[in-house]
Chain A
């Protein structure tokens, strides 16, 4: 495939890749850094890509692996800093202590990262269950059960559904 054709294909997916990266990094600049390194890697590996591989999930998978690699590096760095400071890094706020969110999006922000990613990838990005399973390296059945749990958690945090009365009571 000629370079301009490859670039045209990449440009078509680019906005969605940037959105995907923003969900991962939650910061515009780091998201574009991630997109840049993803494109670099994609271009250098283009020949190893099988023709029948759909471009979007292939790029998402590269971006996700790069993101995880970066995250691991950050954790190693944080652990090193802890050794010097002698204190543990602060954990993310516990879901249990959260009050009812005002909107579904606020509730989404309070979900554990893995559940948040799952809902964004499937409900907003429209990735198929099979594509998400490949991305995470788990069976489709696992994706389905994790998805149910994520939806239940989102309902609970947004104050909807069966657990609403319970959540409100616990606030008194």
Chain B
């Protein structure tokens, strides 16, 4: 190629400055620069500046100080936030649900009617034991884990009922917000997929302790009682074997 007829364009010159041209490309540009000393001085200056910047600023930050920038940690934090938002959404659903039921039952009644005892426990059973879409806060991986979890939020409360003799084992728990303050639901399952829930919360203000009792609501049955400053309920589908468990366990 005739060196005097090669005319580098802007991209050739900049790529030469940044050292991106291959050897042949460099030689072509340098040959052209030999015939254009004015531009050549400027381009050599640019090349010098680019090299100086690379040499001075080309170092990478120390990675030791970047623990909070670990993608796995950021991902875990993000998922935690999503779960927390879902948890709050479910709590709102429950809180609204309890109010809605109470409102429905007051329909057409002049005197303010009280909702049936532990109506929120039955509502919580519907939400968590009968729906597959609402996640639990904790799942039991080791025996005793759910008891420890419950003790954290409801100190001095009665222990979780032991339903193992009836084939039901605790699988997970969930904290809830109610008009009477925080509540918790612990879900028990048996091998055939049956579910019983244990529910605990503080008594409603001015309501006092709860007289021991049982009631039916649709297909569900609830047994309820008080003790150690809390109200409790066991809720299950109202079939004969479940009713026997509720009767036995709420009397312990």
Contact = CB atoms under 8 A, between A and B. Distances in A.
Interface residues of B, number: 31
Q: Count chain B CB atoms within 10 A of each CB in A28, A119, A123 and give the residue with the most.
A: A123
B200 interface: no
B71 A39 contact: yes
B45 A161 contact: yes
A40 B49 contact: no
A37 B14 CA distance: 33
A28 B146 CA distance: 44
A99 interface: no
Given A14-B63, A36-B68, A161-B45, A148 B14 contact: yes
A131 B78 CA distance: 29
Nearest to B52: A104
Interface in A131-165: 141, 144-145, 147-148, 151-152, 154-155, 158, 160-162
A144 B14 contact: yes
B57 A105 contact: yes
A124 B57 contact: yes
Contacts, number: 103
Interface of B is mostly: helix
B11 interface: yes
B108 interface: no
B46 interface: yes
A170 interface: no
Given A36-B74, A148-B14, A151-B49, A123 B69 contact: no
A6 B78 CA distance: 15
Interface string B1-41: 00000000011001001100000000000000000000001
Interface of B: 10-11, 14, 17-18, 41-42, 45-46, 48-50, 52-54, 56-58, 60-61, 63, 65-66, 68-72, 74-75, 78
5 closest Cβ pairs, A-B complex = A123-B50, A15-B60, A104-B52, A7-B71, A10-B71
